[in-house]
Amino acid sequence: MGNIQPIEYHYGFIPNQGGRECSVFDNLILVGDSAGQSNPLVLEGIRHAIEFGRLAGEVGANSIEKNCSKESLIQYEKIWKKKLSSKIESSLRVQSRWLKFSDDDWDNELDIIREMSVDELLDFVKGDFSASKMVKLALNHPKIAAKQLFNLVLKR
């Protein structure tokens, strides 16, 4: 690829402690990173900020007649948490497993990851852990180490 030089650097902080306990207040809705909606495994947050930004706009507009009170905005929090909370929590469990890894642990984990199909891996890193997908993963990858990883994701 020839002589490649960096032309600019991109960096920044992403809140990475899971969803905020409370994301609505009187006259205020938190969306995206401020609500802790980014995926802890790969720290992608753009699609959640867009999806739940739209939702915040809809719920906010509908609550104008109620002075945008916290109670009138709570529907926003209920909807995004129902869609995302369990995925974020599962991703956080995998993340905390990965953060403790030694090089040898990583070699073993990569053996599991290497056996996943591209679609399985994408679902996994996106935190798309529906029960049916996890059952399929467990069936496709019966090794004990793989099962431990998938059980960790499913733990409630």
Ligand X SMILES: Cc1cc2nc3c(=O)[nH]c(=O)nc-3n(C[C@H](O)[C@H](O)[C@H](O)COP(=O)(O)OP(=O)(O)OC[C@H]3O[C@@H](n4cnc5c(N)ncnc54)[C@H](O)[C@@H]3O)c2cc1C
Closest distance between ligand X and the C-beta of residue 42, in Å?
8
Measured between alpha carbons, how far is 82 from 73 in angstroms, rounded to an integer? 15
Which of 22, 46, 110, 122: binder of ligand X (CB under 6 A)? Answer: 46
Closest distance between ligand X and the C-beta of residue 105, in Å?
26
Give residues with Cβ within 8 angstroms of 95, minimum separation 6. 16, 40, 41
Q: Does position 19 bind ligand X by CB under 6 A? A: no
Give residues with Cβ within 8 angstroms of 102, minimum separation 6. none
Give the distance from CA 22 to its chain's centroid.
17
Helix (H) or strand (E) holding 62: helix 46-62
CB nearer ligand X, residue 31 or residue 112:
31
Q: Position of tokens 């990851």?
A: 113
Binding segment toward ligand X, per CB under 6 A, in 8-16, 54-62, 85-93, 95-103: 8-16
Closest distance between ligand X and the C-beta of residue 121, in Å?
16
Which of 24, 36, 38, 52: binder of ligand X (CB under 6 A)? Answer: 38
Using CB under 6 A as the criterion, which residues of the chain lie in contact with ligand X when the complex forms?
10-12, 14, 31-34, 38, 43-47, 49
